[in-house]
Amino acid sequence: MQNHFPLWKNSLVLIVFTIALVYALPNLYGEDPSVQVSSTKSEKMGQEKATQIESAIKTAGVAVKAFEFKGGRVLARLSNTDDQLKVADLLRDNVGGDYTVALNLAPTTPGWLQAIGADAMYLGLDLRGGVHFLLEVDMDAAVKQAEERYNDDIRLALRNEKIRYQSVAKDSGYIKVKLKAAEDKPQFLALLGKDFRALDVTEPLQAQDEVWLKVSVREEKEIKKFAVAQNMTTLRNRVNELGVAEPVIQQQGENRIMVQLPGVQDTTRAKEILGTTATLEYRLVDVEHDVQKAVEGHPPVGSRLYYEKNGQPILLNRQIIVTGDQIVDASSGMDQDGRAAVFISLNGVGAAKMGKLTQANIGKPMAVVFIEYKVDTRIINGEKVRHKEKVEKVISVATIQGVFSKRFQTTGLDSPQEARNLSLLLRAGALAAPVDIVEERTVGPSLGQDNIDKGFLSFIVGFVLVVLFMAVYYKLFGMIANFALAFNVVIVVAILSMLQATLTLPGIAGIILTVGMSVDANVLIFERVKEEIRNGNSPQTSIFIGYEKAFATILDSHVTNLVVAIVLFAFGTGSVKGFAVTLIIGILSSMFTAITGTRMVINWIYGDRRVEKLSI
């Protein structure tokens, strides 16, 4: 028969509709303001600690809707945001530095839906509230750090190859190497060609015993590219430490990173963790040379002058034992003397280097250098100017009493809070280059709810107007199109939920746009059916030809829209991508609902009987 679907096609449509309905359901349930507590150590929280946290909340007299402990994490569900903030402040003061306290919005989805992986969509910053940061990566600092590494590596390579040299120093963007004898230059150039191909080599005519080196343009581009990529990874790790459920971290342009933290209201804490560039270096203390000569401007070749926290000068070897990027885990606590400490675990390479060095230098002092980049705003000539400063200070000097490698502790910190922050930063990894917060915005929860209400209202108004028009103008066929329209919205919401996509205001706009596109396809079909009836064809034939002939036009229009949506997704950022994602899903689902969904219902009504007139 002309207008009859086989059983498998009817079953397919019904299965798709059922699955979409189930996975869209979680979005009808709300969220509870919650406080989440998790361990910062590699070991998970125990039941005893969870019981202590629950008792502390009850003692404070706060009504808790539910208290959950699973996966080594505690989640306290509360009735309102006031109780949420009160409990968060209480726990931050009581749980200690080995635990992270984070504000959260916990979904109230029933367990049977969670068991099959059905979760609600995440809400973006504009719908949920939170903070937005735009960070600028200091590319010049990244290049300078690379030059510093090359400077030290070249000096070490010269020693290993036993090539005599007078000095290796940075000057005007060059690493200038002055050899003791011109006849050593060929050997040095061969070394550069083998191990330092990323450096451009210049041989000044006026000095036969000198070689000037400069980071190549290609290498400089790679350094800058790596700095942004590494910083994004580190920032993502730091955000995970903050306990944010669905952060948005994206690159913008060549040197900027956008960070959005939905649900976070503590901007001071977020800025402190995201913007701080802190790491540690472990170096041996130079006890053979005179510190005062270094203070007077004559440091020995293999050492650098540093200052301790009390202002005392100290000489340290230029050779670094291990750095922050070789730290795989760090936790804060107290040492045996009750001082704030950070307990550090190294990776295999770092552990091997530390073990080898401590074995060869028992009885000698080793220093811990804390490195941090600080940015402050100064008023110069009536204008605000951001000033960046690299702060290096020796926080601890201790004698190596025995051999240690993988795990050890670092003391010398001012407070337990400083130890907690440092352990968090070391766990997340060091930034490859300093970052500067150039833009900051805060969206309150009430404003986010207002955006949700307005977006939902615009969707309802648009949906109702379309439904009324289709019902009045196309009668029964219009009601069938309205069914397909609702089916289309359910599919879009279900797919976004299954992908755990983040819904934003532009995403809502994309859903509303697909409502119009879905109806547009049915308008084309119905107008073609009416045209066939006017041409004298039977109702059954008119339905068949209407769907067959309109398909090509519908396909063309949807494909062109799909191409535009894909381009938006490929080249857009942030909210543009969110709009593109919902548009792509809406285009594909509207093709299915407008053609297959409505055809199935029409076949059920008109397919197996003799029809004299269509309600169209």
Single pTM value for the model: 0.61
DSSP 8-state code for residue 308:
B
Compute the radius of gyration of the chain from its Cα atoms.
33
What is the per-residue pLDDT across 188-232, written as a single tens digit (0 to 9) for each? 888 888 888 888 888 877 777 888 888 888 888 888 888 888 788
In percent, the amount of the chain with pLDDT more than 70 equals: 88
Q: Which residue has the tokens 């939905």?
A: 262
- As a whole number of angstroms, the distance between CA 390 and CA 394 comes to 13
pLDDT classification of 89: cutoffs 50, 70, 90: confident
What is the per-residue pLDDT across 482-517, written as a single tens digit (0 to 9) for each? 888 888 889 988 998 888 777 878 888 888 888 777
Quickly list DSSP for 295-350. Answer: HTT---TTEEEEEBTTS-EEEEEEEEEEEGGGEEEEEEEE-TTS-EEEEEEE-HHH
Cβ-based burial of 172 (10 A; exposed 0-12, middle 13-18, buried ≥19)? exposed
Distance of CA 554 to the CA centre of its chain: 39
Provide the β-strand partners of residue 260.
132, 248
Residues 6+ apart with CB under 8 A from 414: 340
Token pair belonging to 430: 């060091």
Other CB atoms within a 10 A radius of the CB of residue 600 amount to 20
Cβ-based burial of 545 (10 A; exposed 0-12, middle 13-18, buried ≥19)? middle
Rounded to an integer, the average pLDDT of 35-39 is 78
pLDDT classification of 2: cutoffs 50, 70, 90: low
Angle (CA) 110-116-122 rounded to 5° is 70
* Domains contained in the chain, CATH given: 7-26+444-606 (1.20.1640.10), 32-108 (3.30.70.260), 139-219 (3.90.1070), 276-442 (3.30.1360.200)
pLDDT classification of 43: cutoffs 50, 70, 90: low
Residue 148's pLDDT is what?
81
Closest residue by Cα to residue 220 from 140, 286, 287: 140
Q: Are 334 and 340 in contact (CB under 8 A)?
A: yes
Rounded to an integer, the average pLDDT of 108-120 is 84
pLDDT exceeds 70 at position 5: yes
pLDDT exceeds 70 at position 175: yes
Which of 238 and 147 is assigned the larger pLDDT?
147
Q: Which residue has the tokens 């006890």?
A: 287
C-alpha distances (whole Å) from 2 to each of 513, 534, 572 are: 33, 19, 45
Residue 19's pLDDT is what?
92
What is the per-residue pLDDT across 120-150, written as a single tens digit (0 to 9) for each? 887 777 777 778 888 888 888 888 878 887 8
DSSP 8-state code for residue 572:
-
- As a whole number of angstroms, the distance between CA 285 and CA 366 comes to 5
